[in-house]
Amino acid sequence: MKRHLYTADHEQFREVVREFVARAVAGNLQRWDRDRLIDRDVWLAAGKQGVIGLSAPEEYGGAGQHGDYRYRNIVLEEFAKVHATALASSFSLQDDIAIPYVTALGTAAQKRRWLPPMASGERIGGIAMTEPGTGSDLRGVRTSGRKVDGGWVVNGAKTFITSGINADLVITVVRTAPEGGSRGFSLLVVERDMPGFTRGRKLDKVGLHAQDTAELFYDDVFVPDENVLGELGGGLKQLAGLLPLERLSIAAHAVAVATAVLADTLAYTNERHAFGQPIADFQNTRFELASMATEIDVTRAFVDQAILAHGEGELSVVDAAKAKLFASEMQNRVIDRCLQLHGGYGYMLEYPVGRAFQDARIQRIFGGANEIMKEIIGRDLVGRR
């Protein structure tokens, strides 16, 4: 079935991304995995090439494509082809979460100050929600902000923070009114060199080894009033309003990765012989490949429509949850079956399918665990808020 998502302009941009991947990404993947860190040079190179900053407005040095996620989707697709999963996830945080938060909620002064270096890759953004004692339940956040003259004194700890080591600007969920209920939380931008703000361990994860995920600590960190992002006390509402884009990003990434892994597996089953014939000649193999190709194509059709709906300002919280839920589950199913078709070699990390198997598991957890996606969808179905 012909895909109608992209225009000629999008395909021209794809060539730019392909050149960037060949020059600055493909040859560094093993080193980044070994170092457990993506060096900042690739961020700067991406900024110069226009591969990041896509969602930032043009007047602040970006591409001004926040409403057209097709450009971001091309980045995800081209990164997936070389299995640059950790880099794709890191760039998604920048372009699909951090920059949109500043763009949507920031004052004119904040945008002038933060967006240009974020669009150029000079400054890396992060968002700190999760705490050691809380996961998807953000109402349980205990990191606190005490009002003082000119700002807030923040104390607390966060964990599982993507780009936690590299991040220069960390949008932090802080309880600013202990008795305020859902209105008791605000978003405060904590900057790298603020006294009392420290990084803990770079966490050793099941997958996404090159991506720096860390603990963060706030010990009497003074955050000036000009670093309050959006409405004071409106943190949870603001987070809810921007989560659909994050979940669309996860869904789009899932489709891109599953497509790439299936392509690798198709090549492998044609090249690998058993019992005197290519593995692809066995009926079970063909049935597995057919089932996976169908799952991917059907999921892609829904995600493509979600991408277009986002561009029209019509992507609902429920539809974003459906995309994230189904695409991430599909990704894990497909990669598991592809690994099985590789046999023992699939269990070796020298083969991309093994690394993809490790990397895919988090997709069902971050951006809101899939159980939360089911709750969102289920509540909508039965008419509950």
- Answer for the pair 228, 381: CB distance below 8 angstroms, yes or no: no
For residue 79, the one-letter residue type is F
Find the catalytic residue in 77, 246, 288, 295. 246
Query: 53, exposed or middle or buried, with CB in 10 Å at 0-12, 13-18, 19+?
Result: buried
Say whether 246 is catalytic.
yes
pTM: 0.94
Residue 148, SS3?
strand
Q: Which of 101, 213, 205 is nearest to 158 (CA)?
A: 213
- Answer for the pair 229, 189: CB distance below 8 angstroms, yes or no: yes
DSSP character string of 235-285? HHHHHHHHHHHHHHHHHHHHHHHHHHHHHHHHHHHHH-EETTEEGGGSHHH
- Answer for the pair 152, 176: CB distance below 8 angstroms, yes or no: yes
User: Please, which residues bridge with residue 2 across strands?
Assistant: none
Per-residue pLDDT of the chain (385 residues; tens, 9 = 90+): 889 999 999 999 999 999 999 999 999 999 999 999 999 999 999 999 999 999 999 999 998 887 899 999 999 999 999 999 999 999 999 999 999 999 999 999 999 999 999 999 999 999 999 888 776 667 778 999 999 999 999 999 999 999 999 999 999 999 998 876 778 899 999 999 999 999 998 899 999 999 999 999 999 999 999 999 999 988 888 888 888 999 999 999 999 999 999 999 999 999 999 999 999 999 999 999 999 999 999 999 999 999 999 999 999 999 999 999 999 999 999 999 999 999 999 999 999 999 999 999 999 999 999 999 999 999 999 987 7
pLDDT of residue 312: 94
pLDDT of residue 223: 97
